Amino acid sequence: MCRIGFINWLVFFMAVACSQNKINSASIDEELMIQVPDSELYVRMRGNTKGPLIINLHGGPGGYSGIDIKLMGPGLENNFLVAYLDQRGCGKSPECKDKSMLTIGQYVMDLDIVIDSLRNRYNKAKVNLIGTSWGGMYGFLFLLKNQEKVNAFACIDGKVNSHYQNTFLLEYQTKKVEELLKNEIPDVRRTELEKISRELERIQKADYSNFYEDVNWMLHEVSPKLGFNAYFADTSKIISLNDVLKDTALLSLMKYTPDEYLKIGEKAEFVNQAFLDGPEYNTTNIENDLRYITIPTAVIQGEFDYVVGTGHAELIFNALTGLPENKKELHILPETGHCPAIECPDALALLLVRFFEKHSI
């Protein structure tokens, strides 16, 4: 059941040799493979080469960038050159079965290589970054080492404090269970809730070193049983796996056949589990380090985002103490969950365009 939930979840974030020749045409759509240690990374380049370069960092870990072309592309590609990157082991990038290469440090190194390659290829002094969910943390992790290469960053429903993220959902679900148990309910329902309560208590006492099964259970099984969706405020906006497979225009836009699209689920699950079952990802907390960020930053989050915790955007914004008020923005999107690119794409696009036009060189 966790496998099915994670593969469907990927849809939320769906999100050739690399010639070094400079690109001069105004509008492009091309696919690149950029060499990184022991692998290569797929990048889809779309938009206006004369505009500022934006690199899109999808969620996960284990997501992919394909559907972001449909969700965010229309609002950005007229004025910007957008690089849709598939991270190591994800999407159209080759699978990675070596867990020693699926680390935060390796991903930051990969992104540094990608940025340098694209800056050289498209003759850009700096790049801009958009990071969604895990991509938000990924962007900040890169900035803390290499922000001299970045002009501006937009963090969408991102995280920086894993402890806050994990405890928020646990505490929220525990409270919901307690409230439901106060009501007159059938014995079968009471037994179900009491079992959930015991499991949540067990997880709270664990060290999060093997969190993949538990967090998928919480997100995809427990939340519906407690009457809410962790990802969506408006569940009618959910895009299912079958929705994508039936949408031939979308598959064509993303350059996937149905069989190719189905294969990314297995790759993604391996990457996601490698991160979530390791000690690093679930304990990473860079909240205090955000004071070192000096580039313009927009922090955007859905009002009802239970995946990273509804207060995470404000936490990030307040931690950016090295930025003056005119270089940082906080936007809470009403009646929206963890997936604003799906639930309110027009509002999100407007925020992103205004932010990057204001701060891009």
Are the C-beta atoms of residues 157 and 133 closer than 8 Å to each other?
yes
Furthest C-alpha separation in the chain: 70
Are the C-beta atoms of residues 125 and 117 closer than 8 Å to each other?
no
CA distances to 9, 47, 70, 72, 300 from 350, rounded to whole Å, are 25, 17, 15, 10, 12
What pLDDT, on a 0 to 100 scale, did the predictor assign at position 1?
33
Q: Where are the domains of the chain?
A: 2-161+281-359, 163-235
State whether residue 125 is helix, strand or coil: coil
Phi (first) and psi of residue 237, to 5 degrees = -90, -5
Over residues 353-359, mean pLDDT = 96
CA distances to 48, 126, 214, 219, 260 from 1, rounded to whole Å, are 42, 43, 12, 12, 22
d(CA 106, CA 124): 24
DSSP string, 155-198: EES--SBHHHHHHHHHHHHHHHHHHHHTS---HHHHHHHHHHHH
Least confident range from 83-87, 207-211, 300-304: namely 207-211
What pLDDT, on a 0 to 100 scale, did the predictor assign at position 22?
45
DSSP string, 261-299: HHHHHHHHHHHHHHHHTSTTGGG-B-TGGGGG--S-EEE
The four Cα atoms 329, 239, 248, 75 give a dihedral, to 10 degrees, of -10
What pLDDT, on a 0 to 100 scale, did the predictor assign at position 3?
36
What is the reported pTM? 0.91
d(CA 308, CA 318): 16
What pLDDT, on a 0 to 100 scale, did the predictor assign at position 25?
55
Confidence of residue 4 (pLDDT cuts 50, 70, 90): very low
Residue type, 33: M
Confidence of residue 361 (pLDDT cuts 50, 70, 90): low
Residue type, 56: N
What pLDDT, on a 0 to 100 scale, did the predictor assign at position 360?
80
Closest CA to 30 of 70, 98, 83: 83
Phi (first) and psi of residue 36, to 5 degrees = -130, 170
pLDDT at 191 > cutoff 60: yes
Closest CA to 341 of 70, 138, 101: 70
Q: Each residue of 9-36: pLDDT tens digit?
A: 444 344 333 333 444 458 999 999 999 9
CA-CA-CA-CA torsion sign (267, 14, 29, 50): negative
Mean pLDDT of the chain: 92
In the chain, which ranges are E strands? 27-36, 39-48, 53-57, 81-85, 127-132, 150-156, 297-302, 328-333
What pLDDT, on a 0 to 100 scale, did the predictor assign at position 6?
45
Would you mind telling me the total number of residues written for the chain in this entry?
361
pLDDT at 200 > cutoff 70: yes
Q: Token pair of 361, please?
A: 């060189």
Strand partners, 36: 39
Whose tokens are 């408006």? That residue is 234
The answer to whether domain 2-161+281-359 has CATH 3.30.360.10 is no
Closest CA to 110 of 13, 162, 42, 15: 42
pLDDT at 282 > cutoff 60: yes
What is the bridge-based pairing of β-strands 81-85 and 39-48?
antiparallel
